[in-house]
Amino acid sequence: MHMSDSATASAATASKPFNWRFTTPLFIGSALNPINSSLIATALVPIATGVHVSIGQTATLVSALYLASAIAQPTAGKAAEVFGPRRVFLVGILLVLAGGLVGGIAPGLLTLLISRVLIGLGTSCAYPTAMVLIRRRARAAGLEKPPGGVLGGLMISGVATASLGLPIGGLLVQFLGWRSVFLINVPVALIALVATLMWVPRDDATPRRGARQIASDLDLIGIIGFAVAMTSLLLFLFSLPTANWALLGVTVVLWALETSWELRAKSPFFDIRLLGRNAALTRTLIRFGLVMLCGYVVLYGITQWLEASQGMSEAASGLLLIPMTVVSGVVIVPFSRRNLVRGPIIGAAVACIVAAVSALFLPTAAWLVMTLAVTILLGFAQGAASSNQLALYSQAPAEQLGTASGLMRSFGYLGSIASSAVTGIVYRTSVTDSGVMTIAWIMVGASVVLLAISVFDRTLRRTAGSTA
């Protein structure tokens, strides 16, 4: 048994090792990142008025969380492998608590940016550490893998909740003011903190190490290189539709340097060789990114079209996205309980294609029906795509599960940021019917690629737990 398993052995070998006490703080923590990613959308206009800046400047509050999260997700996973998952999970909760308080009293945009970065860093600690905690619990209970419902619940809280941020944010702003979208994190973080301290078993003591050994175990240079290269890439994507080619050149050089370092690192943070050898894991990461691309194109592109072309309010367009969340959550349950992998993954790709084709008919008299069809289909796709999490659980080496789980989230953020860039390019002058058609065709292209790397991935047949 692994050293860290001993601390949980007595509890985990009970009749219900994955009882609600153990899973509740993990689910709450994992929901904070996706909800915060969209929570602020309805607050941008009142924030601009409140701190006396332009609406365009407040968009940096959205970018700040994406940037922090894309970097912090795999970093938190690596830290969990070195310091212990519960410790990193608790640090994340404290960062969220601090971020909520800072945002609640922020006098200006800079302080709000600091708040969003803290929230991004803190919420990013939850999902990868939760995956490590779940694997540790399963091993201590003598299980090859946890019950499917556990990973399914984690996926519901970590992905399906994203579209909930819009209606929740709208209600908070309407009744409590824009500062409430920051302050809401405080009570939720406190609940998660207390629940974790009470119900999640402690990590074993870590061996005493000097600063140099810790830096080597974490691959601190690799983390810094990844952060700088990822920042450069995301800044380039955020600059679109006005492409900054010099920045793109710098990005290519930075990634080349990062790759060179990681190929020589003793304990690589971004294990290039692993992704090269483990093509199945790489395909899983890409699939997740493509599903998120399709989902967020609806959040960014189609909701803008509904508001600009159909005259819907922000609250009404947000409510139209609720079916996506509901369907996603409902679909995850039966697939995860049966530990299905290949069938749901292919089903997700097919649903994305049908949703993309349906989106081609949005600029018609049946726009409302088509909008509902697109959101329901993409809700199914996101729920079915949760099986990629089970695939990753089986494909990633045990000692690198935290980092791999974080990378999966980073690929999801790349998909969401790419969708934002697509929307910016297509709507660079105005939101039009032809623009939403262009977005639909881009969704078709992404969905076809998704289907190809799902149908022709023979390794999915051999993934542990797959019966489909």
pLDDT digits (tens, 9 = 90+) for 21-52: 999 999 999 999 988 987 887 788 889 889 99
Tens digits of pLDDT across the chain (468 residues): 444 444 444 444 455 888 999 999 999 999 999 889 878 877 888 898 899 988 778 878 887 888 898 889 899 989 998 899 999 999 999 999 999 999 999 999 999 999 999 999 999 999 999 999 998 998 888 888 788 778 888 878 876 677 677 778 888 988 899 999 999 999 999 999 999 999 999 998 888 888 888 888 888 999 999 999 988 988 887 777 677 899 999 999 999 999 999 998 888 887 888 888 899 999 999 999 999 899 888 877 887 788 788 888 766 777 777 788 788 888 888 888 888 889 999 999 999 999 999 999 999 888 989 999 999 999 899 889 888 988 998 898 888 888 888 888 888 888 887 887 788 788 877 788 888 899 999 999 999 999 999 999 988 875 544 444
Give CATH superfamily name and number for 271-468: MFS general substrate transporter like domains (1.20.1250.20)
* Contact assessment for residue 61 and residue 112, using Cβ atoms and an 8 Å cutoff: yes
Residues 310 and 241: their CA atoms lie apart, in Å, by 24
What pLDDT was estimated at residue 351?
A: 96
Q: Give the whole-number percent of the chain exceeding pLDDT 90.
A: 41
Write the pLDDT tens digit of every residue in 197-220. Answer: 999 999 988 888 888 888 888 889
In the block, tokens 């600029």 appear at 363
Output the six-digit token pair for 336. 């995860």
Q: Please give the model's pTM, rounded to 2 decimal places.
A: 0.81
Which residues 6+ apart lie within 8 Å of 235 measured at CB?
244, 247
281 DSSP 8-state letter? H
What pLDDT was estimated at residue 430?
A: 79
**Direct distance between the N- and C-terminal alpha carbons of the chain, in angstroms, rounded to an integer:** 31
Q: Which CATH number fits domain 1-208: 1.20.1250.20, 1.10.3210.10, 1.20.210.10, 2.30.110.10?
A: 1.20.1250.20
Residues 297 and 133: their CA atoms lie apart, in Å, by 32
What pLDDT was estimated at residue 160?
A: 63
Of the candidates 67, 65, 47, the one whose C-alpha atom is nearest the C-alpha of residue 57 is 47
Of the candidates 441, 295, 105, the one whose C-alpha atom is nearest the C-alpha of residue 114 is 105
What pLDDT was estimated at residue 163?
A: 67
* Contact assessment for residue 468 and residue 340, using Cβ atoms and an 8 Å cutoff: yes
Count of Cβ atoms closer than 10 Å to residue 143 Cβ: 14
In the block, tokens 């695939």 appear at 391
Residues 324 and 450: their CA atoms lie apart, in Å, by 19
What pLDDT was estimated at residue 63?
A: 79
Residues 340 and 24: their CA atoms lie apart, in Å, by 23
* Contact assessment for residue 141 and residue 37, using Cβ atoms and an 8 Å cutoff: no
| CA 330 vs CA 15, 27, 102, 223, 372: distances in Å | 27, 16, 36, 37, 16
* Contact assessment for residue 286 and residue 453, using Cβ atoms and an 8 Å cutoff: yes
* Contact assessment for residue 177 and residue 46, using Cβ atoms and an 8 Å cutoff: yes
